[in-house]
Copies of this chain bind each other. A is one copy, B any other.
Amino acid sequence: MPHLIVEFSANLERQLEMKRVLKAVHDAALATGVFPIGGMRTRAIRHDLYLVADEHADNAFIHVQARIGVGRAPEVRQKAAEAIFAALQNVTADVFKSAPIGLSLEIVEMDPVGAMKANTLHTYVERRATKNAPAGGGA
């Protein structure tokens, strides 16, 4: 069920490969063990039209919104946020050292009333994992 929505200002593409950023936060979220792999949906929104702080053209931002199922303990949410944010900071470290940038992350617990889902990902993911698992015996 967890959704990671990564918004970023388009000027970052000169300095940063956004695919790497997406992979970093996606993998970090999975590594927490808190979120089922078949439910992880990470996506980016590239903003071409934006104004940051004093509107200087160099100003940049990345904001991550994690929308997750309700009911996890505050400590669990906090730890997950820290892990994902650490990955974000790591992958953007060079830019952070040299540019005016705001990084942020928030967690949104989704309202269980009206929450609906249908998902074939779990089955595919399991099947692929089995196929790719190292063979037990000979080969």
The residues of A with any CB-CB pair to B shorter than 8 Å are 1, 3, 5, 7, 9, 18-19, 22-23, 26, 37-47, 49-56, 58-59, 61, 63, 66-67, 74, 77-78, 80-82, 85, 89, 96, 99-111, 113-121, 123-125, 128-129
Contacts and interface: CB of A to CB of B under 8 A. Distances in A.
A117 B66 CA distance: 14
Chain A contact residues: helix, strand, loop or mixed? mixed
A108 B106 CA distance: 12
A101 B124 CA distance: 9
B114 A66 contact: yes
A42 to B, nearest CB: 5
A55 B24 CA distance: 12
Contacts of A96: 118, 120
Contacts of A121: 52-53, 59, 100-102
